[in-house]
Amino acid sequence: MPYDCRQTIRRQIHVPKGGRRTGAGRPLGSGRFGEPARSVRVPLSLLGEVSELLAAHNRSRADTAASRIAAVDPTPEQLVLPRPGRALVRGPIGALELLAQLHAAGVKARAVVLDPMYRNKNVPGRAAYLAETIPLITAASQVAPHIFIWGFPESVARLVDHWPSHLKLEGWLTWFFKNAPSRSKSWRPSQQTCLHLRRRDGKLYPEHFYSEKHRALAAANRLEFKMTPYSVFQEALLSGFIKRSEQTGFRYQKPESVIEPLLRMTTKPGDLVIDPTAGSGTTGAAAVRLGCAALLSDRSAAAIKLCRERLAAHLDSP
């Protein structure tokens, strides 16, 4: 019976770089996590079997991430949480270790902000970013319904279809800045990306962006369009005389005005916000100003010192 190409679908099968194919379009290779993918055609008659194999592969990958989290010692010496409108800085401590401790202690936050600058040097190639970030996202989703993951677009794009299945993509956010110095002969970098991932129980607060007029219309059920912020934030980089009072000298510092909309959309005063990759403490500064409690940490001792100096007037004792 002739093969009917119309009764096929396209499936992504992982093939190592330089891999070759055998007869009938069957790929060779280990199919290991993070390797380049190619497309092959799967007959509809085999769709059920292929779907089961892919589901088993995804479960195995999730179990691997969970085992990495479980391998971290989850017992803190003494767990203290900050009060509303205050910040608490812990560390130096790794992000994964802190999140595991909070989950083991039953801590429930409203949002976790992730902005890791480091990579797992033991995992080479393209898999390094995913191997570092997926366990962080998984651990963050165990303590909060809203997760924000920052990075450059070419890195963050690798997360698509790899984050835990109980999270949905609420928004692909972009921070756009015009004052980026560059010596590149190609496209001039002028943006960073933030993925907003949300659990089903994660509540949004669009009313936090309403004016008094919009609040009145909403109360009367006459507000036709929700006046929420755009998914692109245009804010200049902190350099020179731009927001000089906000600058700390930290190389990768973000403006507080970029972090604030994320927290306003997902938190209300009194909620707990966690940033285990705090850097200069921008998340903490924005959270405190909104009346939230901020728990910050970083694996860098220099970053911890900077956070404590910046938030000295709003610190709770550990």
- Compute CA distances 155 → 62, 131, 182, 184, whole Å: 20, 12, 19, 18
100 and 54 within one domain: no
Which residue is listed with tokens 């089903």?
200
Same domain, 169 and 82: yes
Q: What percent of the chain has pLDDT over 70?
A: 77
Question: In this model, does residue 112 exceed pLDDT 90?
Answer: yes
| Count: domains in the chain | 2
pLDDT band at 39 (very low <50, low <70, confident <90, very high): low
33, part of any domain = yes
Assign 3-class secondary structure to the chain.
CCCCCCCEEEEEEECCCCCCECHHHCECCCCCCCCCEEEEEEEHHHHHHHHHHHHHHHHHHHHHHHHHHHCCCCCCCCCCCCCCCCEEEECCCCHHHHHHHHHHCCCCCCEEEECCCCCCCCCCCCHHHHHHHHHHHHHHHCCCCEEEEEECHHHHHHHCCCCCCCCEEEEEEEEECCCCCCCCCCCCCCEEEEEEEECCCCCCCHHHHCCHHHHHHHHCCCCCCCCCCCCEEECCCCCCCCCHHHCCCCCCCCCHHHHHHHHHHHCCCCCEEEECCCCCCHHHHHHHHCCCEEEEECCCHHHHHHHHHHCHHHECCC
pLDDT at 239 over 80: yes
Write out pLDDT tens, residues 249-274.
888 889 999 999 999 999 999 999 99
Looking at the structure, tell me whether residues 129 and 275 fall in a common domain: yes
Q: Residue 143 maps to which CATH number?
A: 3.40.50.150
For residues 57 and 83, state if they share a domain.
no
> Do residue 22 and residue 169 come from a single domain?
no
Across 19-28, 92-101, 221-230, least confident range: 19-28
Domain termination residue (choose one: 34, 65, 96):
65
Tell me if 3 is assigned to some domain. no
- One domain for residues 85 and 220: yes
Same domain, 49 and 96: no
For the ranges 61-65, 151-155, 176-180, 308-312, the maximum mean pLDDT occurs at 308-312
Comparing 88 with 24, the larger pLDDT belongs to: 88
Same domain, 154 and 84: yes
Cβ neighbours of residue 271 under 8 Å, at least 6 residues apart?
109, 110, 111, 292, 293
In this structure, are 239 and 271 located in the same domain? yes
Global pTM reads 0.76
pLDDT digits (tens, 9 = 90+) for 149-181: 999 898 899 899 889 999 999 999 999 998 888
Task: Tell me: pLDDT of 51 over 80.
Answer: no
In this structure, the answer to whether residues 89 and 131 fall within a common structural domain is yes
Name the pLDDT band for 123 (thresholds 50, 70, 90). Answer: low
Phi, psi of 276 (to 5 degrees): -85, 0
CA–CA dist 189, 211 (Å, integer): 34
Domain boundary among 65, 86, 114: 65
CA dist., res. 19 & res. 14, Å (int): 10
Task: Give the pLDDT of residue 277.
Answer: 95
**Residues 23 and 168 occupy one common structural domain:** no
Instruction: Compute the distance between CA of residue 156 and CA of residue 318 in angstroms, rounded to an integer.
Output: 33
Domain span including residue 137: 78-180+189-314
